[in-house]
C-alpha cells in the first residue's frame, strides 16, 4: 500500500487505466446512448488514454507532477469524442494540483479531484447531469468528506467508490439512460480509470463492477438521442493552434452551428475542439479563422446507426439518389468551363459584371443545381464570401430533401480549384470534405480590383479608379497599373513560400496582358515555381492569384 504517489506509481496507473479501458471498451460502447447512440465511447476513451500512455512513455520526468502533466497533455492531443476531451481535463486538474510535487499525498489528490471537477464542467458549453460530469463531481465530494490530511489509500478508495455510486445513479438523472436501461458510458469509463488508481495505490486488483447492459438493440436506441441532437449529423473535432482571445469568437460561432461543444487547451496555445454540426465546412472554417487547425476528424453519425444515408433511404426525395457530386459557384464563363472540365457542376454567378452575390444569386438556383446532380452526397464550393450565406441556405434546403451536403469554406475561385484538385471519389464523403477544406485553407489568394469610390483602406487612402491589391480579402497595395499591382502581390505571396501559382484573368480589357506580365515575372525570378494561367472571365477582379 502506497503512502505517496510517485512518478513510477503514476506511470503504473496510466498503464492500468489503458488496460482496463481496452479490456472493457466493448462493454462501454454498448452502454453508449448519450448524447447520441453511436457506440464509440469505450473506443474513444481507450484511444484517448493510449495517447496519454504514449506521452508518458516518452516523458523523462522524475516527479509525479511531470508524469501527470505528460499524461494530461497526451490525453488532450489524442482526445476522441466528448468523453475523451472531458477525461483529458480531469487529468489536467489532477496534474495542476501536483504540478510542483515530487510525490503526491492524499491531500493533493483531494485538491486534484476538486480541480478536475471544475475543469471538466468548464470544458462543456452546456453541462448535463447524469454523465461523467456527475461522476467526477461525486468522486470529488466523496474524498472531501475525509477531513484534513487523509491517507492516500483512503482518498483513492473513496474516489473510486464515490464514482461508482454516482454511476449507478445516472439513469435517475438522465431520462434517456433510464429508457435504454443503461448507466452513462463516459461515467463508466471514468470509474474504470479511478478504480485503476485505487488498485495501484492499495495493491489490490481493480473490482470488476457489474454495469447494466442495453435493453434494446443499437438501431432501436436511435430513437432516444438527447433533445436537440437529432438535427446534427456530424461530429467534427480538431486540434487548434490559436491565441486565447480568438476562442470567444470561435465558441460563439460553433455554438450557433451545433451542439455538444467542447473547447479545451493545454495552456500553451494548443486547443482541442469538438462539436456536433451539419455544416462540416463552416465548423472547419471557424477554426481557420481562429488559428491553425490540424488533425481534423469528421464522423457521420449515420454510419454508426446503420442508416443508409448515402443513398437517401428513408428520407424524403432521397431514395433514388446515389454517389457524390461537387457543386461550385463560378463568377465567370472561363471559370465555369474550368470547373466543368473537372467534372464539377456549376452555378454561374455574376458572369457579365458585378461581384458574386450582387446580381441576385438565390438559394433556389444553388438548390436546383444540387438536386440536379442526382447525388446523395454533395460538396458545395461557394468560392466567394459574398455568396456564403446563399449557399448555406441552399444546403439547408437540400438536407431537408434527403441530400447530405457539406459546404467547404472556399473564399476565392482559386481556393475552389485547389480543392477540386484533391477530390477523390474513392474516399469516404467525410474524408473528402476534410481533404478539400485543407487544400483550400492551404491556398493563399490575392485579388486585383478597381476602386469604385474614394475610401480609406489598410494600405492608405484610395481614389475612384485606383488599382487595389488584396491578400486574403485585405487591401495591401494601391497603384495605377493592374500588371504592376498583380506582380507586387505575387511577389509578396511567393516570398512566404509556394510551389504552384494559379493566375486567373478577368473580363476587363487588358486583364490577359496583366496575367502574362505576372507569368513573365515568375518565370524570370522564380523559375522553380510552377505557374498556370487561365482565362477566368470573372468580373470586378482583373486578376485572381492563388499560391499553394
The pLDDT of residue 350 is 59
Owner of C-alpha cell 485606383: 466
234-242 and 270-277: which strand pairing?
antiparallel
Transcribe 70-97 into DSSP letters.
Answer: HHHHHHHHH--HHHHHHHHHHHHHHHHH
Strand partners, 445: 546
Q: What pLDDT is recorded for position 236?
A: 85
Q: Is 132 helix (H, G, I), strand (E, B) or coil?
A: helix
242 close to 260: Cβ distance less than 8 angstroms:
no
Q: What is the pTM of this model?
A: 0.55
Q: Which three cell numbers stand for residue 57?
A: 512513455
| Rounded Cα distance, 65 and 99, in Å | 4
* Nearest Cα to Cα of residue 262 among 385, 407, 86, 99: 86
Domains of the chain and CATH, by start: 7-212 (1.25.40.340), 229-305 (3.30.70.1150), 310-441 (3.40.50.510), 444-547 (3.30.1180.20)
Strand partners, 405: 378
Give the CA distances from residue 532 to residues 428, 441, 477, in Å, rounded to whole numbers and listed in that order.
Answer: 30, 19, 23
d(CA 362, CA 486): 32
Torsion of CA 178, 181, 186, 190, to 10 degrees: 100
At residue 356, the pLDDT reads: 39
Give DSSP secondary structure letters for 315-363: STT-TT--SEEEEEEESSHHHHHHHHHTT-EEEE-STTSS-TTSS---H
Bridge-based pairing state of the strands 324-330 and 377-381: parallel
- Can you tell me the distance from the alpha carbon of 257 to that of 290, in angstroms, rounded to the nearest whole number? 15
Residues of the chain with pLDDT under 70: 32-40, 205-230, 300-320, 350-360
| pLDDT attached to residue 39 | 53
- Give first-to-last CA distance, the chain, whole Å: 59
Quote the crossing angle between the two packed helices 132-144 and 185-202, to the nearest 10°. 30
Other beta carbons within 10 angstroms of residue 190's beta carbon come to 31
- Nearest 5°: the CA angle 355, 358, 363 is 115
Amino acid at each position: 500500500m502506497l503512502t505517496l504517489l510517485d512518478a513510477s506509481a503514476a506511470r503504473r496507473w496510466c498503464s492500468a487505466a489503458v488496460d482496463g479501458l481496452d479490456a472493457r471498451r466493448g462493454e462501454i460502447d454498448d452502454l453508449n446512448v448519450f448524447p447520441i447512440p453511436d457506440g464509440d465511447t469505450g473506443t474513444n476513451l481507450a484511444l484517448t488514454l493510449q495517447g496519454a500512455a504514449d506521452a508518458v512513455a516518452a516523458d523523462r520526468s522524475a516527479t509525479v507532477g511531470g508524469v501527470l502533466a505528460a499524461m494530461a497533455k497526451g490525453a488532450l492531443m489524442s482526445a476522441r469524442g466528448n468523453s475523451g476531451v472531458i477525461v483529458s481535463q480531469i487529468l489536467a486538474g489532477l496534474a495542476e494540483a501536483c504540478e510542483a510535487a515530487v510525490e503526491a499525498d492524499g491531500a493533493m489528490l483531494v485538491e486534484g479531484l476538486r480541480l478536475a471537477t471544475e475543469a471538466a464542467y468548464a470544458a462543456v458549453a452546456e453541462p448535463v447531469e447524469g454523465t461523467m460530469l456527475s461522476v467526477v463531481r461525486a468522486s470529488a465530494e466523496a474524498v472531501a468528506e475525509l477531513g484534513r490530511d487523509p491517507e492516500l489509500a483512503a482518498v483513492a478508495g473513496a474516489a473510486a467508490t464515490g464514482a461508482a455510486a454516482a454511476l449507478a445513479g445516472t439513469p435517475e438523472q438522465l431520462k434517456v439512460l433510464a429508457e435504454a436501461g443503461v448507466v452513462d458510458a463516459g461515467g463508466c469509463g471514468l470509474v474504470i480509470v479511478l478504480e485503476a488508481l485505487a488498485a495501484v495505490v492499495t495493491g489490490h486488483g481493480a473490482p470488476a463492477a457489474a454495469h447494466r447492459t442495453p435493453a434494446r438493440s443499437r438501431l432501436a436506441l436511435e430513437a432516444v438521442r438527447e433533445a436537440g441532437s437529432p438535427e446534427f449529423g456530424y461530429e467534427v473535432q480538431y486540434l487548434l493552434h490559436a491565441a486565447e482571445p480568438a476562442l470567444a469568437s470561435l465558441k460563439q460561432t460553433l455554438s450557433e452551428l451545433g451542439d455538444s461543444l467542447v473547447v479545451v487547451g493545454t495552456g500553451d496555445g494548443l486547443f482541442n475542439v469538438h462539436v456536433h454540426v451539419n455544416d462540416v465546412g463552416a465548423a472547419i472554417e471557424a477554426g481557420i479563422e481562429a488559428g491553425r487547425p490540424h488533425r481534423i476528424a469528421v464522423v457521420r453519425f449515420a454510419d454508426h446507426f446503420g442508416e443508409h444515408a448515402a443513398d437517401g433511404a428513408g428520407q424524403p426525395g432521397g431514395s433514388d439518389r446515389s454517389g457524390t457530386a461537387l457543386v461550385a459557384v463560378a463568377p465567370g464563363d472561363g471559370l465555369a468551363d474550368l470547373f466543368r472540365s473537372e467534372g464539377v457542376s456549376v452555378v454561374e454567378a455574376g458572369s457579365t459584371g458585378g461581384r458574386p452575390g450582387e446580381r441576385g444569386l438565390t438559394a433556389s438556383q444553388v438548390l436546383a443545381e444540387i438536386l440536379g446532380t442526382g447525388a446523395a452526397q454533395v460538396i458545395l464550393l461557394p468560392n466567394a464570401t459574398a455568396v456564403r450565406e446563399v449557399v448555406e441556405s441552399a444546403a439547408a434546403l437540400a438536407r431537408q430533401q434527403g441530400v447530405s451536403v457539406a459546404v467547404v469554406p472556399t473564399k476565392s475561385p482559386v481556393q475552389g480549384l485547389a480543392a477540386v484538385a484533391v477530390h477523390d471519389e474513392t474516399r469516404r464523403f467525410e474524408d473528402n470534405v476534410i481533404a478539400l477544406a485543407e487544400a483550400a485553407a492551404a491556398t493563399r489568394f490575392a485579388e486585383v480590383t478597381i476602386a469604385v469610390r474614394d475610401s480609406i483602406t489598410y494600405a492608405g487612402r484610395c481614389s475612384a479608379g485606383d488599382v487595389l491589391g488584396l491578400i486574403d480579402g485585405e487591401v495591401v497595395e494601391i497603384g495605377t497599373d493592374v500588371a504592376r499591382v498583380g506582380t507586387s502581390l505575387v511577389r509578396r505571396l511567393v516570398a512566404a513560400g509556394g510551389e504552384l501559382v494559379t493566375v486567373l484573368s478577368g473580363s476587363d480589357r487588358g486583364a490577359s496582358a496583366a496575367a502574362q506580365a505576372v507569368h513573365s515575372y515568375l518565370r524570370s525570378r522564380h523559375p522553380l515555381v510552377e505557374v498556370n494561367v487561365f482565362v477566368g472571365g470573372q468580373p470586378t477582379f482583373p486578376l485572381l492569384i492563388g499560391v499553394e
